[in-house]
Structure 1
């Protein structure tokens, strides 16, 4: 494949990701990755693998490798955070989104942070948020839909 073909594949994959078509994006990034394993390709491939094939561990590894190669690119933090969300790890996801915002105000990062919402104050503010009383009472009130 020529460099122009690979560039076209990556642009098509990014466009598919922007439209929410992760399966199409996965096809493009899987084709481009062996010949052109840039940090952007690996990061996007990691997110697509986690989303479409539930390969969370491989997705995390690819996103972390992309961050080691380009630590100042907010797209890598966006993809890493999304993979964490797929793994049901909201805390690390929010941390990744916030670290990405240190480098640039990427609209995808802002959208994900706003979608996650703000945490409410603990029921018993004199106790730590992780205290068993705060956690149990908070879960109970949420299940009763009182909070």
Structure 2
């Protein structure tokens, strides 16, 4: 009986996430995780927690737990990557998205990786990235195809 209820709560949580109701999703995934602590509920509970309250340390721990218990599932790496993006840890998010791709994620993750991209180091490293010399000379060299 608890397994059936956990499955039902998981489905409700997914539906709530799709509609942007993160607090409801967090509640559903949290209850499902209490009833049946599986990697899938752990991963989605972490994502819903990050989106609803911004509790990033706990969300990252939950999602990492899911990836350690089922390292072959690319969805768990995608969820962890999204949590890292919300926590403004871009480099970690890129690593997780690449791991998801390595474990067989679909082409949508490729598009997201291209959007994020890796920034090239500034031309003049002793100047801030926002300095006009770095910005405009970098733009010029990029347009000329030299960078």
Query: Normalising by the residue count of structure 1, what TM-score does the alignment of the two structures yield?
Result: 0.78
Measured at CA, do residues 121 and 30 of structure 1 come closer, stay the same or move farther in structure 2, by a change above 3 Å?
closer
Measured at CA, do residues 141 and 51 of structure 1 come closer, stay the same or move farther in structure 2, by a change above 3 Å?
farther
TM superposition shift of 1:8: 1.4
CA RMSD of aligned residues (A): 2.6
Task: State the partner residue of 2:93.
Answer: 93
TM superposition shift of 1:18: 3.0
SS in 2 for 1:134: coil
> Contact (CA 8 Å) 1:26, 1:48: kept in 2 or not?
yes
Task: State the partner residue of 1:113.
Answer: 113
Measured at CA, do residues 32 and 120 of structure 1 come closer, stay the same or move farther in structure 2, by a change above 3 Å?
closer
Matched, 1:57 2:73: no
Measured at CA, do residues 122 and 16 of structure 1 come closer, stay the same or move farther in structure 2, by a change above 3 Å?
same
Which residue of 129, 133, 139 maps to 1:138? 129
TM superposition shift of 1:3: 2.4
Query: Normalising by the residue count of structure 2, what TM-score does the alignment of the two structures yield?
Result: 0.78
> Contact (CA 8 Å) 1:78, 1:108: kept in 2 or not?
no
Counterpart mapping for 1:1-147 below 5 A: 1-106=1-106, 109-116=109-116, 118-119=117-118, 121-124=120-123, 133-134=124-125, 136-141=127-132, 147=139
Larger-gyration structure (1/2): 2
SS in 2 for 1:139: coil
Instruction: Identify unmatched segments of 5+ residues in structure 2.
Output: 140-147
Measured at CA, do residues 135 and 10 of structure 1 come closer, stay the same or move farther in structure 2, by a change above 3 Å?
farther
For residues 107 and 13 of structure 2, the distance between their equivalents in structure 1, rounded to whole angstroms, comes to 18
Compare 89-98 and 4-13 and name the one that shifted more: 4-13
Instruction: Identify unmatched segments of 5+ residues in structure 1.
Output: 125-132
Number of equivalences = 138
